[in-house]
């Protein structure tokens, strides 16, 4: 069953609201409310994509004739890249926490792989730690296909995650970290290929 989406802080995602959403994700993960974790993670990931360095929105009600740079900002001027990177790292950590003890099934794999793909969808907002965390998590999900098999949706999301992580050429990574990340993704791709052979990709002809 698809996880619904809930708006996070549309048009007004600033540092305090970002911290509040991350705290809600942490609390939901701690008490096992995985549906809430997925909803918040997907919504926040989408909002972070457009929230970094967003141009200021002028509050014309406060300054009706304002056109200069000193006009009051209604929504702030976006988040720094460092805040977005930290948020994506925290979301990966909380997805792992929420999944702890979960026995993989075909349905749960679909849900987890979609959420992880959402977090990894903006490679420019993934620092060294997030890239390695993401690669390790994707490998774990891909490895679970050896017991669950995989459907077309999960395959799409995992493949998207491989591509996104590798699209960052590693400017933030030293040679050792880059090699570790690339090996994790390579191992994940091999596991996924094997998982597709568990029967066949669900929903497709063998």
Nearest to 190 by CA among 123, 122, 121, 139: 139
Q: Of 55-64, 82-91, 164-173, where does the model show the most confidence?
A: 82-91
Look at residue 54 and give its three-state secondary structure. coil
Helix (H, G, I), strand (E, B) or coil at 197: coil
Phi-psi domain of 22 (left: phi exceeds 0; alpha: psi -120 through 50; beta: other): alpha
Q: What is the pLDDT of residues 34-73, one digit of tens each?
A: 999 999 999 999 999 999 876 555 444 444 444 443 333 3
Nearest to 4 by CA among 48, 31, 41: 41
Q: Is the pLDDT of residue 172 over 60?
A: yes
For residue 165, which of 137, 192, 145, 194 has the smallest C-alpha distance? 137
SS3 146: helix
How many whole angstroms separate alpha carbon 73 and alpha carbon 63? 10
> The pTM is what?
0.81
């Amino acid at each position: 069953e698809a996880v619904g989406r809930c708006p996070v802080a549309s048009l007004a995602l600033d540092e305090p609201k970002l911290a509040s959403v991350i705290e809600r994700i942490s609390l939901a993960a701690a008490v096992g409310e995985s549906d809430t974790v997925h909803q918040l993670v997907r919504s926040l990931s989408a909002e972070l994509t457009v929230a970094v360095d967003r141009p200021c929105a002028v509050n014309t009600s406060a300054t009706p004739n304002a056109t200069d740079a000193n006009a009051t900002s209604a929504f702030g001027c976006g988040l720094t890249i460092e805040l977005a990177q930290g948020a994506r790292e925290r979301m990966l950590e909380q997805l792992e926490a929420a999944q702890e003890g979960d026995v993989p099934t075909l349905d749960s794999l679909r849900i987890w792989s979609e959420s992880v793909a959402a977090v990894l969808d903006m490679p420019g907002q993934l620092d060294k730690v997030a890239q390695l965390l993401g690669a390790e998590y994707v490998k774990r999900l891909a490895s679970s296909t050896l017991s669950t098999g995989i459907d077309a949706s999960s395959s799409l999301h995992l493949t998207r995650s491989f591509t996104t992580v590798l699209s960052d050429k590693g400017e933030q990574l030293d040679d050792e970290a880059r090699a570790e990340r690339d090996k994790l993704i390579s191992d994940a791709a091999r596991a996924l290929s094997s998982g597709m052979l568990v029967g066949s990709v669900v929903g497709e002809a063998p």
